[in-house]
């Protein structure tokens, strides 16, 4: 009888352990998962670093850890497709291995970002150093657009490295991009200020050779180059135009006519062609004078990104959630802002294993508070717009591991 009792007890213990099918259960939250068309109250369960279950009411007894997130929003881990994280100590490096870039892990998890894409800091000659010093050492998933200039973004915008056509080696860029295809998502052209198409053309050539999209930061030139020609004759479907809502200056055209406030017709044609329009807010590339009339005409961005660097984080941009909140102040629905920062971003960089919470997907999860009140947002021209909501990161999970917890919801109480 004693042996039978011990056997039954052991069986019950084993059953209890076995029945706890999930490591973590996020319970009571409002799930926004654009890929799967979900925008309602749903529980999300995690096991072995993957999404194990998504359902309206998952039994808490099945999880080792249950986190109550009632009243909060659950989204896939946010993806910022335009940042600068090749941080270093080279005093001439600027964005490449310099002081203007930022350490990824310091400015991602705390705002719900689990993946950041460095936008062209490294070129073909310097990517190995970037990989060794940043990509391989970061907890954040760091991907990259490789600069078409083999020297990357070395020095300031007018430096030799960024204006010398001999540095734009399409074949070399494509070879490095293909060799590091697990880390490189495309080719970047930026800060080129001559009135010719050399940088864009060679980036497109490199993109074709590598089978990857390009991201274009259209450098200012005198005389100005045509956005219509860029969108309709140079870029390909799936290529990305960043700094979409930049201001009109004598060296750059804009998507909204500054006089009539009407969207340029060729911009709509470009969207139909499949050109992807990205925010890339930055320290000097977002104005309400462009964004308000554009969004009033229904022209919201496919992807929301920060252009994170030391100049933007302490100014109008701040972080990914602030940029999302800024677009919500211009009547972009929350679900659309989430889509532009998750599934649409993943598709733009051709990393469709990211940006969603399908069962079996990588468990990159962001939990958000939607604060209500009176909030102010300003642009790079220092004009202000008020909004009624501000997104705040409550919790970030990457690969099933808690990496940020604002209010210690995942911790047991002190005794």
Which of the four pLDDT bands, split at 50, 70 and 90, describes residue 2?
very low
Which of the four pLDDT bands, split at 50, 70 and 90, describes residue 411?
very high
Of 128-137, 167-176, 185-194, 375-384, give the lowest mean pLDDT range: 185-194
Domain ranges in the chain?
A: 77-348
Q: 13-49, pLDDT tens digit by residue? A: 444 444 689 999 999 999 999 999 999 999 999 999 9
- 186 vs 86: CA distance, rounded Å: 16
What mean pLDDT, rounded, does the chain reach? 93
Are 43 and 69 contacting, i.e. CB atoms less than 8 angstroms apart?
A: no
Q: 91-110, pLDDT tens digit by residue? A: 888 899 999 999 999 999 99
Which of the four pLDDT bands, split at 50, 70 and 90, describes residue 164?
confident
Let me know how long the chain is.
415
Are 313 and 319 contacting, i.e. CB atoms less than 8 angstroms apart?
A: yes
Q: 208-247, pLDDT tens digit by residue? A: 999 999 999 987 787 889 999 999 999 999 999 999 999 8
Report, as an integer, the average pLDDT of 360-366: 98
pLDDT given for residue 15 in this prediction: 44
User: Cα-atom radius of gyration of the chain, to the nearest Å?
Assistant: 23
Report, as an integer, the average pLDDT of 121-137: 97
Report, as an integer, the average pLDDT of 296-319: 98
Name the range with the highest mean pLDDT among 9-13, 248-252, 343-347.
343-347
Are 61 and 101 contacting, i.e. CB atoms less than 8 angstroms apart?
A: no
Look at residue 12 and tell me whether its pLDDT is greater than 70.
no
Report, as an integer, the average pLDDT of 372-386: 97
- 393 vs 114: CA distance, rounded Å: 12
Look at residue 248 and tell me whether its pLDDT is greater than 80.
no
Higher pLDDT, 11 or 73: 73
Which of the four pLDDT bands, split at 50, 70 and 90, describes residue 166?
confident
Q: What angle do CA 334, 117, 310 make, to 5 degrees?
A: 90
Instruction: Kindly tell me the burial class for residue 314, based on how many C-beta atoms sit within 10 Å of its own C-beta (0-12, 13-18, 19 or more).
Output: exposed
- 184 vs 406: CA distance, rounded Å: 32
pLDDT given for residue 5 in this prediction: 43
pLDDT given for residue 158 in this prediction: 63
Which of the four pLDDT bands, split at 50, 70 and 90, describes residue 165?
confident
pLDDT given for residue 221 in this prediction: 80
Please state whether 284 falls in left (phi above 0), alpha (psi between -120 and 50) or beta: alpha
Query: Burial code of 374-389, b = ≥16 C-beta within 10 A, e = fewer?
Result: ebebbbbeeeeeebee
- 114 vs 323: CA distance, rounded Å: 16
- 404 vs 173: CA distance, rounded Å: 36
Which of the four pLDDT bands, split at 50, 70 and 90, describes residue 286?
very high
pLDDT given for residue 93 in this prediction: 83
What CATH architecture is 77-348?
Alpha-Beta Barrel (3.20)
Q: What values do phi and psi take at 345, rounded to 5?
A: -65, -45
pLDDT given for residue 6 in this prediction: 44
């Amino acid at each position: 009888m004693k042996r039978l009792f011990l056997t039954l007890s052991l069986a019950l213990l084993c059953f209890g352990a076995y029945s706890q099918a999930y490591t973590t259960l996020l319970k009571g939250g409002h799930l926004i998962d654009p890929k799967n068309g979900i925008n309602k109250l749903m529980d999300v369960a995690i096991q072995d670093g993957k999404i194990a279950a998504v359902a309206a009411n998952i039994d808490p007894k099945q999880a080792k850890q249950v986190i109550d997130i009632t009243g909060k929003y659950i989204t896939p881990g946010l993806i910022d497709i335009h940042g600068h994280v090749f941080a270093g100590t080279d005093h001439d490096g600027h964005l490449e291995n310099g002081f203007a870039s930022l350490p990824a892990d310091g400015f991602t998890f705390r705002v719900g970002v689990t993946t950041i894409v460095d936008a062209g800091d490294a070129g073909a000659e310097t990517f190995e150093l970037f990989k060794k010093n940043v990509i391989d050492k970061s907890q954040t998933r760091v991907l990259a657009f490789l600069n078409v200039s083999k020297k990357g973004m070395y020095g300031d915008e007018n430096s030799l490295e960024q204006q010398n056509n001999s540095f734009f080696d399409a074949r070399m860029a494509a070879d490095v991009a293909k060799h590091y295809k697990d880390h490189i998502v495309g080719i970047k052209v930026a800060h080129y200020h001559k009135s010719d198409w050399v940088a864009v053309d060679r980036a497109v050539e490199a993109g074709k050779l590598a089978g990857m999209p390009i991201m274009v930061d259209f450098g200012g030139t005198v005389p100005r180059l045509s956005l219509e020609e860029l969108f309709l004759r140079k870029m390909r479907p799936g290529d990305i135009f960043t700094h979409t809502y930049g201001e009109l200056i004598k060296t750059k055209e804009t998507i909204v006519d500054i006089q009539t406030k009407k969207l340029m017709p060729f911009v709509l044609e470009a969207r139909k062609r499949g050109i992807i329009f990205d925010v890339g807010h930055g320290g000097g590339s977002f104005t309400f004078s462009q964004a308000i009339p554009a969004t009033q005409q229904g022209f919201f961005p496919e992807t929301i990104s920060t252009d994170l660097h030391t100049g933007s984080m302490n100014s109008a941009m701040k972080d990914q959630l602030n940029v999302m909140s800024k677009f919500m102040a211009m009547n972009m629905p929350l679900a659309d802002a989430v889509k532009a920062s998750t599934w649409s971003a993943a598709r733009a960089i051709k990393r469709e294993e990211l940006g969603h919470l399908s069962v079996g997907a990588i468990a990159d999860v962001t939990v958000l508070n939607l604060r209500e009140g009176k909030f102010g947002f300003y642009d790079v021209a220092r004009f202000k717009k008020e909004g009624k909501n501000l997104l705040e990161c409550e919790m970030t999970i990457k690969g099933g591991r808690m990496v940020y917890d604002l209010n210690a919801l995942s911790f047991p109480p002190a005794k």
